[in-house]
């Protein structure tokens, strides 16, 4: 395999693997470099929600593009990633949250997201299993869920079948601009070169962006997941509670094998240095209590496993996506703040377009890395990452 390409993609999560895939469809040569295995971090351990509703309006154009890819994933990739276009429903317990559902639905329509808001008798006719404290529901019929274990590796394999050089178990420690492009070096001294570089290294991206004078205030946290024993497959909708009271939030989806996957509540600690995220037992207890409040008939179900993953958050909950503000040919995509799985393939296709054609119709201004300024040095960012972790 050659050590030189048009583009080097650093990070083999859903963003990196899908970008490599779409770059190959544009006939750009690509080296995709992953420290461990593709999909090993957040992209492989998340809840699997393919949810557009509830996103900032600024993300909806990209999110719609992503949904279109999820619908075509099997034919694009030649593999089933268990995408189920089940619909996604948000419910709430408080009047001000119900008002927000109506406001959001009106605003989102202009961005191509059609939602139906139900309350009263109509709500319980549609979802008779819901606890009677539920006040309103916002239904997004075209959203759904998919299997995170399968998705990023499938994009990686499809990119490799199209000719991408997929390098796993290579930890990139240095990225430098040189005449004609970039030099990228691993911890063991291996070197690759390319005209363009995309850094999509999730919770670890800040250490690399700081090398170009663009530190970011990334913090790491671990969303808390649980899965129940299997029961007959009845719940097609992926569903979650929207609330400003963090402890009340819970969401679930049932997979056709019968297990219910749960998430929600306060996140737990996540350590970028050891690459470990923990589940706090108290969070699981609270999650189950809220699940019983939401669907009382499922109260007897046993949780059989819990887990978490290292996710990167930015202060405004918007990701960084787009070109570097200091260095031509360098691009970023990270900091998805708990919701990068759904949007990931849309980011990948948009970045492939941007790197290849030089522009895209998807608005990227809200996601610019320049919004964080260029103050801290590389050294101070390393210290910050360690203390967060």
Ligand X SMILES: Cc1cc2nc3c(=O)[nH]c(=O)nc-3n(C[C@H](O)[C@H](O)[C@H](O)COP(=O)(O)OP(=O)(O)OC[C@H]3O[C@@H](n4cnc5c(N)ncnc54)[C@H](O)[C@@H]3O)c2cc1C
Which of 344, 355, 369, 372: binder of ligand X (CB under 6 A)? Answer: 344
194 binds ligand X (CB under 6 A): no
- Closer of 13 and 123 to ligand X (Cβ): 13
Q: Bridge-partner residues for 139, per DSSP?
A: 89, 116
**Separation between Cα atoms, residue 87 and residue 183, nearest integer Å:** 45
254 binds ligand X (CB under 6 A): no
Which of 7, 31, 32, 33: binder of ligand X (CB under 6 A)? Answer: 33
Choices 73-81, 154-162, 284-292, 332-340 (CB under 6 A): range interacting with ligand X: 332-340
Q: Which of 26, 132, 34 is nearest to 350 (CA)?
A: 26
Which of 7, 9, 12, 91: binder of ligand X (CB under 6 A)? Answer: 12
346 binds ligand X (CB under 6 A): no
**Separation between Cα atoms, residue 131 and residue 92, nearest integer Å:** 11
Which of 5, 9, 16, 76: binder of ligand X (CB under 6 A)? Answer: 16
Choices 154-162, 199-207, 240-248, 291-299 (CB under 6 A): range interacting with ligand X: 199-207
**Separation between Cα atoms, residue 203 and residue 273, nearest integer Å:** 10
334 binds ligand X (CB under 6 A): yes
Question: Half-sphere exposure (CA, 13 Å, Cβ side) for 69?
Answer: 26
Which of 6, 26, 36, 177: binder of ligand X (CB under 6 A)? Answer: 36
Which of 220, 259, 284, 308: binder of ligand X (CB under 6 A)? Answer: 308
Fill in the DSSP letter of residue 63.
H
Which of 69, 118, 158, 200: binder of ligand X (CB under 6 A)? Answer: 200
14 binds ligand X (CB under 6 A): yes
Which of 8, 45, 81, 364: binder of ligand X (CB under 6 A)? Answer: 45
350 binds ligand X (CB under 6 A): no
- Closer of 50 and 98 to ligand X (Cβ): 50
Q: Which of 283, 292, 281 is nearest to 265 (CA)?
A: 283
Q: Is 316 exposed, middle or buried (0-12, 13-18, 19+ CB in 10 A)?
A: middle
223 binds ligand X (CB under 6 A): yes
Which of 225, 241, 288, 301: binder of ligand X (CB under 6 A)? Answer: 225
Output b/e per residue, 89-103; b: 16+ Cβ within 10 A: bbbbbbeebbebbee
154 binds ligand X (CB under 6 A): no
Which of 5, 7, 8, 13: binder of ligand X (CB under 6 A)? Answer: 13
191-199 and 4-10 strand pairing: parallel
**Cβ atoms 202, 11 nearer than 8 A:** yes
Which pairs count as long-range contacts for 375-378, CB under 8 Å and 24+ apart, including other chains? 375/215, 376/210, 376/215, 377/210, 377/215, 378/207, 378/210, 378/211, 378/215
Binding to ligand X in span 74-103, by CB under 6 A: none
**Separation between Cα atoms, residue 170 and residue 11, nearest integer Å:** 10
- Closer of 187 and 299 to ligand X (Cβ): 187
Closest CB 127 distance from ligand X, rounded Å:
20
127 binds ligand X (CB under 6 A): no
30-33 and 4-10 strand pairing: parallel
Choices 80-88, 209-217, 333-341, 349-357 (CB under 6 A): range interacting with ligand X: 333-341
Size, binding site for ligand X by CB under 6 A: 41
**Cβ atoms 136, 101 nearer than 8 A:** yes
49 binds ligand X (CB under 6 A): yes
172 binds ligand X (CB under 6 A): yes
**Separation between Cα atoms, residue 108 and residue 58, nearest integer Å:** 10
Choices 69-77, 130-138, 197-205, 365-373 (CB under 6 A): range interacting with ligand X: 197-205
Choices 29-37, 105-113, 228-236, 378-386 (CB under 6 A): range interacting with ligand X: 29-37
Show the tokens assigned to 66.
């992503």
Continuous H helices in the chain: 14-25, 42-45, 60-77, 95-109, 120-126, 148-161, 205-209, 281-294, 340-357, 378-388
* Binding positions for ligand X, rule: CB under 6 A: 10-16, 33-36, 40-43, 45-49, 171-172, 200-204, 223, 225, 263, 308-309, 311, 334, 336, 338-342, 344
């Amino acid at each position: 395999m050659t050590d030189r390409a048009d583009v080097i993609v650093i990070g083999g999560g859903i963003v990196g693997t899908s970008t490599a895939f779409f770059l190959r469809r544009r006939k750009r040569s690509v080296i995709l470099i992953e420290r461990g295995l593709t999909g090993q971090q957040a992209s492989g351990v998340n809840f699997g929600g393919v949810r557009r509703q509830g996103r900032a309006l600024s993300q909806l154009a990209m999110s719609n593009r992503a949904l279109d890819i999820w619908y075509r994933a099997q034919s694009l990739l030649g593999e089933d990633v268990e995408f189920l276009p089940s619909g996604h429903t948000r419910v709430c317990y408080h009047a001000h949250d119900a008002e927000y559902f109506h406001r959001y639905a009106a605003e989102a329509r202009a961005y191509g997201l059609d939602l139906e808001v139900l309350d009263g008798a109509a709500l319980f006719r549609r979802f008779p299993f819901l606890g009677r404290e539920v006040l309103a529901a916002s239904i997004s019929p075209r959203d759904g869920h998919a299997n995170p274990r399968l998705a990023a590796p499938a994009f990686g394999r499809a990119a490799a079948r199209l000719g991408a050089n997929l390098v796993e178990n290579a930890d990139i420690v240095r990225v430098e601009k040189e005449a004609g492009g970039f030099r990228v070096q691993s911890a063991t001294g291996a070197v690759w070169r390319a005209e363009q570089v995309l850094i999509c290294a999730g919770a670890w991206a800040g250490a690399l962006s700081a090398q170009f004078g663009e530190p970011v205030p990334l913090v790491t946290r671990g969303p808390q997941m649980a899965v129940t024993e299997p029961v007959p497959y009845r719940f097609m909708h992926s569903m979650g509670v929207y609330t400003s009271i963090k402890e009340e939030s819970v969401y679930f989806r049932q997979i056709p094998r019968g297990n219910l996957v749960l998430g929600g509540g306060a996140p737990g600690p996540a350590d970028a240095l050891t690459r470990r995220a923990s589940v706090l037992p108290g969070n699981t207890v609270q999650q189950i209590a809220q699940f019983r409040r939401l669907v009382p008939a499922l109260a007897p179900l046993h949780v059989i496993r819990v887990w978490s993953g290292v996710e990167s958050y930015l202060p405004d909950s918007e990701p960084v996506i787009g070109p570097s503000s200091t260095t031509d040919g360098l691009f970023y995509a990270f900091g998805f703040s708990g919701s990068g799985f759904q949007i990931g393939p849309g980011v990948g296709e948009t970045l492939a377009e941007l790197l290849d054609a030089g522009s895209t119709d998807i608005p990227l201004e809200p996601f610019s890395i320049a919004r964080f300024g260029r103050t801290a040095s590389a050294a101070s960012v390393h210290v910050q990452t360690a203390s967060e972790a």
